[in-house]
Structure 1
Amino acid sequence: MTDKTRVLFVCVANAARSQLAEALLRHTDSEQFDAFSAGTVPGEINPLTLEALQHLGVSTEGLYSKSIDEFAGERFDYVITLCDKSSLECHSLPGAGEVLAWNFEDPVTSTKHDAFRHTLHEIHERIKMFVLVKTKR
């Protein structure tokens, strides 16, 4: 068993935001955190998600879209939802320590120019702050 802090990122499709968050947390501090992601209704990872991560030099190895059901019975120190819809569906998740609700615009449906890079940057800033706060012991 590991002493790492286990974090599960959840959004609906597990196609963009939660994948970005999982990869970014691993990239930011894989020594102290184990990062996972899942969707309440998983689909396929959006290719622009992987492109945005690779553009930043973040590894996309091992990323795939998965259902929250794959983690049934597992314990997480933090479950972080990345959209309002998943937030509503995840408050009763068994095995969740602290549930945090972060709401980011879905880059898949966004009309913003460079939406994926914009969302990547916003999530990265939040994750850096999360790591900073949670590793001050």
Structure 2
Amino acid sequence: MLKVLFVCVHNSARSQMAEAFLNRLSGEHFEAESAGLEEGVLNPLVVKAMDEIGIDISKNKTDSVFDFYRKGKAFSIVIKVCDEINGQRCPIFPSALHTLSWNIADPADFKGNEEEKLQETRRVRDEIRERVEQLISEYKDYSTSRK
């Protein structure tokens, strides 16, 4: 089983969606967690967008990547879903075999009325799902060889 950590700025949107998708779609091959570079709160539009497809993240808490680092948590793959500049602030996990950067737009930055922001959040949700499905496809064989 590969342990995967998704990191974004506040652990309020992108990383939460990615964690939920990987844990839902990967079966026994992966275990996902998520964390932020700074303390945050769940983005209500992200909670709504995920609920629309039957995934409830409303009770999730936000975690600090630095707490995970200090606790010595080990991950096989670390995926930075934030922009490159913020991703550079992420600590290096020595256990990580791979560190990936997905550079996905932050729903907190979307402009417009609530429906317009929700529409953009849905687009990001769907992009993250596609990337998670690709991750599963690319690393599934590797996860079974590490059992």
1-side partners of 2:139 and 2:41: how far apart?
31
Aligned positions, number: 134
1:65 has 2:70 as partner: no
SS of 1:19 mapped into structure 2: helix
Across the aligned residues of Structure 1 and Structure 2, the Cα RMSD in angstroms comes to: 1.8
Deviation at 1:30, TM superposition (A): 3.4
2-side partners of 1:66 and 1:12: how far apart?
11
Query: Does structure 2 retain, via aligned residues, the 8 Å contact 1:14–1:38?
Result: yes
2-side partners of 1:70 and 1:97: how far apart?
20
Q: Give the equivalent residue in structure 2 for 1:93.
A: 93
Deviation at 1:62, TM superposition (A): 5.5
1-side partners of 2:86 and 2:21: how far apart?
20
What amino acid maps onto 2:47 in structure 1?
L
Runs (4+) off by over 6 Å: none
Higher mean alpha-carbon deviation, 97-106 vs 51-60, is at: 51-60
What amino acid maps onto 1:82 in structure 2?
V
Q: Give the equivalent residue in structure 2 for 1:77.
A: 76
Q: Which runs of 5+ in 2 are unaligned?
A: 143-147
Q: Which runs of 5+ in 1 are unaligned?
A: none
Higher mean alpha-carbon deviation, 88-97 vs 26-35, is at: 88-97
Deviation at 1:36, TM superposition (A): 0.3
Matches within 5 A, 1:19-30: 19-30=16-27
Deviation at 1:85, TM superposition (A): 3.2
Residue-by-residue CA offset, 1:33-83 (whole Å, 9 max, x unaligned): 110000011210111111111111124275211101231211100000011
What amino acid maps onto 1:16 in structure 2?
A
Higher strand share: 1
> Based on CA coordinates, which of the two structures has the bigger radius of gyration?
2
SS of 1:15 mapped into structure 2: coil
Deviation at 1:91, TM superposition (A): 5.7
Higher helix share: 2
2-side partners of 1:92 and 1:32: how far apart?
23
Higher mean alpha-carbon deviation, 118-127 vs 69-78, is at: 69-78
Residue-by-residue CA offset, 1:74-113 (whole Å, 9 max, x unaligned): 1100000011233211263343331100011111112373
2-side partners of 1:95 and 1:86: how far apart?
21
2-side partners of 1:33 and 1:59: how far apart?
19
